[in-house]
Structure 1
Amino acid sequence: MLEFAEGQHTDRKTLFVEVILPLAIAINYTYRVPFEMNDEVAVGKRVVVQFGKSKMYTAIIARISEQAPEKYEAKYIMDILDAAPIVSLQQLQFWAWLADYYLCNTGEVMNAALPSALKLASETKIELNKEYEIDRNTLNDREYLIVDALEIQPELTVSDIAKLLGQKTVMPILKLMFEKNIILISEEVSDRYKPRMRTFITLNPVYRDPDQLKELFSILEKRAPKQADAVLAYIQLSRKQKAVSKNELTEASGAGSAIIKSLIEKEVFFAEEKNVSRLQSGDDELEANFELSEAQLVALGEIRQEFEGKDVVLLHGVTSSGKTQLFIRLIEEMVNSGRQVLYLLPEIALTTHIVERLRKYFGNAIGVYHSRFNDNERVEVWQKVLSGQYRVVLGARSSVFLPFSNLGLIVVDEEHETSYKQFDPAPRYNARDAAIYLGNMYKAKVLLGSATPSMESYYNAHNGKYGFVELTERFGGVEMPTTEVVSIAEETKKKTIQSHFTSVLMNDITTALANKEQVILFQNRRGYAPIIICKVCAYTPKCINCDVSLTYHKSSGKLHCHYCGYKEESPSVCPACGSTQLEYKGFGTEKVEDELKLLLPEARIARMDLDTTRSKNAFQNILNDLDEHRIDILAGTQMVAKGLDFAGVTVIGIISADSLLKYPDFRANERAFQMLSQVSGRAGRRGKQGKVVIQTYDPGHRVIKQVIENDYVDLYNTEMTERKSFKYPPFYRLIQLDIKHKDPEVLYHQAEYLAKELRKHFDDRVIGPEYPLVGRIRNYFIKSIMMKFEKDGISLPKVKATIKDVILQFNTTKLSKGSIIQPDVDPY
């Protein structure tokens, strides 16, 4: 690789650039640099290239040399888009590691890493930015033509615009229009991420004078007694808390919004709109000058001490122990030392309260990065991280791809979460593991935090690979919730169960509602009924594209496939035998919500699952309503388990724990413990002890006992014994190959051939091929080959190189026609 300093190229030197294209190709392509561009090329810059017969792509320069490719004649690059590199050498190194480790191509990593606007291609769709008011006087002729065309046809491809202008290289023009906010990339178009605004009320400072206040009450009690009640309620609330919201005042005083409005008009009250956290009902924990408890101070000292000898530290803190406050202290220290921080969170919505807290210190030096931003915003974050303007970045798993220059700390919150794993498309990476490698590259420290750590992280901590710190008491001395396990079978026998709710759970719900407290109910399945079955012939409607039963959704009145999105009308007559005796079996969150409305008609009930949170702000709106006591009962899937912190929630009901415990997966017990513990941790987080009710057919199950006793160590010890015996992580590494084909017979022969070839190298380490739980998705039949490799005495790079060779050799045979092979390293 040649290093070139700016201005050192001679005019006639013939340069070639190896580029990364955003495509799944095994080898990077090489292009020739026109002489006039010699001084402009640099590693990490974007160039426009033609690939294939006519398609244009934005590629990244990975290498510059004077060596022409031997096997083909290099085409010229068409243009250079950047004045300075937008991808650093460290990022290119990170991409190469990801491609190598996760058995994919660098182009697939680039595709995942870059926002769409930074990788324009021929088929990329362009739209006008409706939020931008275009001043046509500032447009040049070509921009004018493009705007005119987009007003007639709202969506055009890059190829369409090239034809319109009669020139090949339109990407520099589109880049400039994008930077001016004139156009959007339609692949990523979404509404802007809007902050949650709340109106806060303050009393006119005039009435701090007791005499003035007395006179005000005297006037209001005679003329407007309800207004007097509102002022009195404000005074009482302001003694207990620093800020009084309009909603809180309305609820406390019983006054309508018209009365508050009238007091504002009279200038008795002042109203101010503020951007507030969606996840904190009181900001006590996140005050600018919060004090750490004694236990937190000890833990903070231990983390610092562990970082002296270890690059990765696991913080195992019980739910509501104040882990976030420790993260904030460490972030402050790192930023004050002049280095950047990456704070990874499993859910987009969890970023808000931490952002607000950190902005009190660092203002606009904080960036948030996730898929809910439109492409303009994501590119802006990218550029601000690249320039060092953003010193702290909070975001979901894709944040690991940002162009950090001086990374000093990575915090991975809820490190056990499965949402850190990317399943489709490639790269199928785990953001936690990628963050650890990233930290190693930048010589940064990595802090993993969880109340229920993954077995791998706990194993690494106890074997001395990671540092380890424990935080065993809840912040503010709040006790862990009490847990009661109820047998569904016993209550069914006694006929004390109502619908899907045992008498114990119903009593706790009604008591909580009577005390004006809130309830969260967890059911890890969405929809109304998972299965419809004919009582006469046992017919069950199935998806036409996948091997799964269709789930009935009452809200749409249709049967849905949760794998490919197929929908069909719900039958009233069995299509197989003509019977009208169709029965709904099982239940999801929609049915839980529906049944509760019948049993508790006075309660305000809402649902949180994938169906109710598809729209832009739906997730935040539900949390907002729960926070402000507009919801009494929230029923939901695993979304309700992640980081929610509400003072009013005192009862948690787990409707059916069995679906978690009986899942055919070696991680089932670990995941069940994590999910049950995390859901349970939502109860009684602010001063009052909560209660958790677990409904199950198997009350004596080992994992349920471990959850009740909050005994993670016992879970770990029992799971480790089993995993060692059956060759599972953390003692063995897993690599899975999924082979897909539309013809099941062809697939059978392909999978058998691949397994046979792999066994020649790896013997009995190869298991399968077998059909997975769902053997057909989107009309592709699937067979899986699992490989287990011991961690000691075997070279993983050599193993992966062999797997690549076997796949390559298979792809050269006629047998491979029509197949798709997807390698997945660390698949669970």
Structure 2
Amino acid sequence: MFADIILPLNLPQLLTYGVPIEMQELLKPGMRVEVALGKNKQYSGIVERLHNEKPEAYMVKPIRNIIDEAPVANEKQLKFWRWIGEYYMSAPGEVMQAALPAHLKLMGETRLQWIAGEDVQINLSDEGYIAAEALQIKGEITISELREIVGYRQLAAVLNELLEHEVIRINDELEQSYKPRKERIVVLAEVYKEEQALMHLFDRLARAPKQLELIMAYTELNIKKGYVRQVDLLDRAKATASHLKALVEKDVFSIKEQEIDRLPAKDIPITKEVAFTPVQQVAYDDLNKGLNEKNVALLQGVTGSGKTLLYIHKIQECINQGKQALLLLPEIAVTTQLVSRLLAYFGDSLGVYHSHFSNNERVEIWEKVRKGIYKVVVGPRSALWLPYNTLGIVIIDEEHDGSYKQRDPAPRFHARDAAIYLAALYESKVILGSATPSLESLYNVQQGKYAYASLKDRYMGVKMPEIELVSPRSTDTAKTKTPGILTPQLQQAILEALAHKKQVILFQNRRGYSPFQQCTVCGWVAQCTNCAVSLTYHKSTGKLHCHYCGLKAALTHACPSCGSSSMSSKSFGTEKIEEEVQQLFPKAKVARMDVDSMRKKNSMAELFENLQKHKVDILVGTQMVVKGLDFASVSLVGILSADSILSFPDFRVNERAFQLMEQVSGRAGRADGEGRVIIQTYNLQHPTLQWVKEHNVSAFYRSEIKFREMFGYPPFTRLIKIIFRHKDEAKAMAAAGLMAQGLLTMPHVTVQGPGPAVVARIRDQYIQEIWMKCPKDNKQMEPVKEFLKTQKQYILNQRGYSNVQIVFDVDPA
């Protein structure tokens, strides 16, 4: 018997290993196994397939060990991984790395053990002595620790030196990195579990009040939970560990370590079902009718129409059938608020999965999904990787959102499209929900591929917000031509909202204090030394930041080009807006929501709680504020710079701008219909802004789809972006040129490029791009992908090109 193994490496194919006879009855696809690669490297891989086909190209090594008693990945997951790898042109190992939680991937860090004793006399180099001393003290270190001690350049020489003198041994064992959480549990002796014996114990301890309090606290806690944690007992009794130790010595209590759940059950009362409004009932009936005929349905509902209620009913139907449900959301920001609503319906059968959980917590969620404890899973795109047993429905909320596309690292998959394939594996249904659906989804409805249902009115007939377009020209400073942040109209609207005890959201799609620092004499702009971008000033740190490589530089006070001290911060980010708003409205409570302010694990939850309790009057934020926030008291939304959203060099720019502005506008007046939106723009006549003003998705779609068809963009073609990175710009350009030359021989394909990327250098790597327009037909796409892989290998095999990074991005965002 042979097994095809997925290894956590960027290898173009699976490797085949022999299955020893004693393992053949135990081994199943989806189990983790320990295998050797090369002379002395060990890896944990996952069995993808068992068969009897011996490979002829190489000698087969045996599997060393089976790690699991049961598969960690099921058969449908493995099929899903294979499809992701094939469609998005990713290596199987890259897919596995993305899919498995970190702690299910065993660590194979080579360890060095000191075996020579303490008084050994040997001649070593200076670096060798330093390494030997560290090994003698610790007894054992890893290769990466040795690299830190002696430096990268000396690593190989020192390692050989120590091995030649036979003072170290290499110990290359795989370790489980997941460790269950253990806690000390207090157990009452069996003899005292009878009431009479317990009462006698109370009498005995009458002169030891602290010990008596411990017994009483134990009785109270044990009735509530069925077990008592040591930390809870000491806290309840206001006692110390010595008081507890005295009772252990008297054989009243015993203490044992017990594995506990990192994700304890939530004691939340279940909410009764909320009845549909007549409009919702019609949409729900249309949705059910559509799903009976098609596998995918688009639910288009204006912001605040109550789409979530329809989702909840469909999920409940799925649970009643004994199946699991998956609700995908674009970002954690949306997850935080929606989860509190869903918990009230589904209680402990609801699981949440996202990157803010620790690695250990993610393993426990994985296991709860695999065992079927979680009936409903909510999360961003990473929730697709979980081991579902019987998936009944997949709901993709805000399906238009760009966050569903994974950009780096591989696999660069689109969660919406991948979810539709995953649902097909389980023969389950898919609901795509959005107020502003993607052009691709609307086109699929038009072509009869998807079913369609709509909610044209807000919940309970609440009015859509009124939208005003305002030019900031009048607020620009006459001498410097610097744009004012808030127009008088927006300032007045904020005052009115605050006077009525309402909340305000101000949207600006730039974080930091100022997007760039410029010399007003010669025009010099502070640039990142590693990337072809300007540095952004962050007042919170007092430094200039690069948002691409993370570089931080000191604020420049004198121009390095002309020596002038006339330096000026240009434009404005969320930090500067927050500061100015606080100055203009000193009595208002202002908060900021962007990547910088939301870094901590509970930052999002705390902010939402403060908004709910009206501890925040004005919220300043980036795209995060767009993602489905639902607060009844928000009456005003200000979009501070619409022009920056409408001027990005991308064929999707109008679609993105329309969706972004329509979504952020939808945060206003959700409860009472008294919403107001002010959009600041220099280009008052831009057609996209007129469609946003009228909330007219249909008119926007009709215009945009003509443009896409005319120029051959999706949904009429498929795009593949090929990215070339190298520290030498000439090599990146030459490699891209070789690829473009080869592509000229491909039929039915349009090639644009090569040319520099929008940001042409990141982290000291020059970037060239080629864009390909390909036919939609999968049969015609397969030879294109095969050719790209062959051409990539050909380029990398050319002398001097082996270090060029060549990346394929299928269906780029």
TM bucket, shorter chain? 0.7 to 0.9
Deviation readout 1:305-362 (Å, 9 max, x if unpaired) = 0011100000000000000000000000011011111110112243345444444454
Deviation readout 1:628-685 (Å, 9 max, x if unpaired) = 1111111110111111111211111111100011111111110001000111000011
Distance 1:725 1:54, change over 3 A: same
Q: Of residues 13, 20, 25 in structure 1, which corresponds to 2:11?
A: 25
- Is 1:702 equivalent to 2:726 in the alignment? no
- Is 1:117 equivalent to 2:103 in the alignment? yes
Tell me the equivalent position of 2:711.
Answer: 726
- Is 1:445 equivalent to 2:429 in the alignment? yes
Tell me the equivalent position of 2:273.
Answer: 289
Q: Distance in 2 between matches of 1:589 and 1:742?
A: 33
Task: Report if aligned partners of 1:288, 1:357 keep a CA contact under 8 Å in 2.
Answer: no
Deviation readout 1:261-308 (Å, 9 max, x if unpaired) = xxxxxxxxxxxxx9899xxxxx9xx94221110000110111100011
Task: Report if aligned partners of 2:482, 2:571 keep a CA contact under 8 Å in 1.
Answer: no
Q: Distance in 1 between matches of 2:33 and 2:767?
A: 38
Tell me the equivalent position of 1:717.
Answer: 702
Distance 1:68 1:168, change over 3 A: farther
Distance 1:157 1:715, change over 3 A: farther
Q: Of residues 629, 634, 642 in structure 2, which corresponds to 1:644?
A: 629
Q: Distance in 2 between matches of 1:795 and 1:564?
A: 38
Distance 1:157 1:522, change over 3 A: farther
Task: Report if aligned partners of 2:473, 2:483 keep a CA contact under 8 Å in 1.
Answer: no
Instruction: For structure 2, list consecutive stretches of 5 or more residues without a partner in the other structure.
Output: 112-134, 147-162, 184-264
Instruction: Give runs of aligned pairs for residues 387-406 of structure 1, distance below 5 A.
Output: 387-406=371-390
Instruction: Give runs of aligned pairs for residues 755-774 of structure 1, distance below 5 A.
Output: 755-762=740-747, 765-774=750-759
333-342 or 598-607, which moves further after superposition?
A: 598-607
Q: Distance in 2 between matches of 1:32 and 1:634?
A: 60
Q: Of residues 475, 498, 502 in structure 2, which corresponds to 1:517?
A: 502
Tell me the equivalent position of 1:677.
Answer: 662
Task: Report if aligned partners of 2:472, 2:484 keep a CA contact under 8 Å in 1.
Answer: no
1:72 Cα deviation after fit: 2.1
Tell me the equivalent position of 1:103.
Answer: 89
Tell me the equivalent position of 2:580.
Answer: 595
1:490 Cα deviation after fit: 4.2
Deviation readout 1:75-127 (Å, 9 max, x if unpaired) = 222211111111111111111111110011111100000001111132499xx
Deviation readout 1:509-544 (Å, 9 max, x if unpaired) = 011112221111000101111111112222111111
Q: Distance in 1 between matches of 2:477 and 2:558?
A: 32
Q: Of residues 497, 504, 529 in structure 2, which corresponds to 1:544?
A: 529
Q: Of residues 345, 368, 373 in structure 1, which corresponds to 2:352?
A: 368
Distance 1:168 1:338, change over 3 A: farther
- Where 2:366 maps in the other structure, the secondary structure is helix
Tell me the equivalent position of 1:802.
Answer: 787
Instruction: Give runs of aligned pairs for residues 619-630 of structure 1, distance below 5 A.
Output: 619-630=604-615
- Is 1:310 equivalent to 2:294 in the alignment? yes
- Where 1:536 maps in the other structure, the secondary structure is coil
Task: Report if aligned partners of 1:512, 1:518 keep a CA contact under 8 Å in 2.
Answer: yes
Distance 1:343 1:166, change over 3 A: farther
Tell me the equivalent position of 1:178.
Answer: 178
Task: Report if aligned partners of 2:352, 2:378 keep a CA contact under 8 Å in 1.
Answer: yes
Residue identity matched to 1:80 = I
Distance 1:570 1:379, change over 3 A: same
Tell me the equivalent position of 2:487.
Answer: 502
- Where 1:767 maps in the other structure, the secondary structure is strand
- Where 1:761 maps in the other structure, the secondary structure is coil
- Where 1:783 maps in the other structure, the secondary structure is strand
- Where 2:544 maps in the other structure, the secondary structure is strand
Residue identity matched to 1:340 = Q
- After superposition, the CA RMSD in angstroms is 2.8
Task: Report if aligned partners of 1:750, 1:815 keep a CA contact under 8 Å in 2.
Answer: no
1:596 Cα deviation after fit: 1.4
Task: Report if aligned partners of 1:19, 1:60 keep a CA contact under 8 Å in 2.
Answer: yes
Tell me the equivalent position of 1:811.
Answer: 796
Task: Report if aligned partners of 1:486, 1:696 keep a CA contact under 8 Å in 2.
Answer: yes
Q: Distance in 2 between matches of 1:117 and 1:638?
A: 32
Q: Distance in 1 between matches of 2:402 and 2:342?
A: 27
Task: Report if aligned partners of 2:6, 2:92 keep a CA contact under 8 Å in 1.
Answer: yes
Distance 1:605 1:362, change over 3 A: closer
1:55 Cα deviation after fit: 2.7
Instruction: Give runs of aligned pairs for residues 562-577 of structure 1, distance below 5 A.
Output: 562-577=547-562
Q: Distance in 2 between matches of 1:358 and 1:484?
A: 35
Count residues with an aligned counterpart: 688
- Where 1:795 maps in the other structure, the secondary structure is helix
1:506 Cα deviation after fit: 0.3
Task: Report if aligned partners of 2:31, 2:47 keep a CA contact under 8 Å in 1.
Answer: yes
Distance 1:610 1:155, change over 3 A: farther
- Where 1:50 maps in the other structure, the secondary structure is strand
Task: Report if aligned partners of 2:178, 2:360 keep a CA contact under 8 Å in 1.
Answer: yes
Instruction: Give runs of aligned pairs for residues 105-184 of structure 1, distance below 5 A.
Output: 105-123=91-109, 170-171=173-174, 174-175=175-176, 178-181=178-181
1:592 Cα deviation after fit: 0.6
Distance 1:64 1:791, change over 3 A: closer
Task: Report if aligned partners of 2:30, 2:48 keep a CA contact under 8 Å in 1.
Answer: yes
Residue identity matched to 1:393 = V
Task: Report if aligned partners of 1:57, 1:119 keep a CA contact under 8 Å in 2.
Answer: no
Q: Of residues 297, 309, 312 in structure 2, which corresponds to 1:325?
A: 309
Task: Report if aligned partners of 1:736, 1:823 keep a CA contact under 8 Å in 2.
Answer: yes
Tell me the equivalent position of 2:75.
Answer: 89
1:159 Cα deviation after fit: 10
Task: Report if aligned partners of 1:421, 1:429 keep a CA contact under 8 Å in 2.
Answer: yes
Task: Report if aligned partners of 2:477, 2:484 keep a CA contact under 8 Å in 1.
Answer: no
Q: Distance in 1 between matches of 2:169 and 2:725?
A: 42
Distance 1:527 1:40, change over 3 A: same
1:379 Cα deviation after fit: 1.2
Deviation readout 1:415-452 (Å, 9 max, x if unpaired) = 01111100000000000000001111111100000000
Residue identity matched to 2:33 = V
Task: Report if aligned partners of 2:41, 2:172 keep a CA contact under 8 Å in 1.
Answer: no
Tell me the equivalent position of 1:259.
Answer: none
Q: Of residues 315, 318, 339 in structure 1, which corresponds to 2:323?
A: 339
Q: Indicate the percent of aligned positions where both proteins have the same amino acid.
A: 46
- Is 1:616 equivalent to 2:601 in the alignment? yes
1:456 Cα deviation after fit: 0.2
Q: Distance in 2 between matches of 1:716 and 1:154?
A: 64
Task: Report if aligned partners of 2:337, 2:608 keep a CA contact under 8 Å in 1.
Answer: no
Distance 1:17 1:38, change over 3 A: same
Instruction: For structure 1, list consecutive stretches of 5 or more residues without a partner in the other structure.
Output: 1-14, 126-148, 184-273, 278-282
Tell me the equivalent position of 2:720.
Answer: 735
- Where 1:775 maps in the other structure, the secondary structure is strand
Distance 1:579 1:497, change over 3 A: closer
- Where 2:178 maps in the other structure, the secondary structure is helix
1:811 Cα deviation after fit: 2.2
Tell me the equivalent position of 1:190.
Answer: none
Deviation readout 1:203-257 (Å, 9 max, x if unpaired) = xxxxxxxxxxxxxxxxxxxxxxxxxxxxxxxxxxxxxxxxxxxxxxxxxxxxxxx
Instruction: Give runs of aligned pairs for residues 352-363 of structure 1, distance below 5 A.
Output: 352-363=336-347
Tell me the equivalent position of 2:216.
Answer: none
- Is 1:458 equivalent to 2:445 in the alignment? no
Tell me the equivalent position of 1:219.
Answer: none
Q: Of residues 9, 23, 43 in structure 2, which corresponds to 1:57?
A: 43
TM-score by length of 1: 0.79
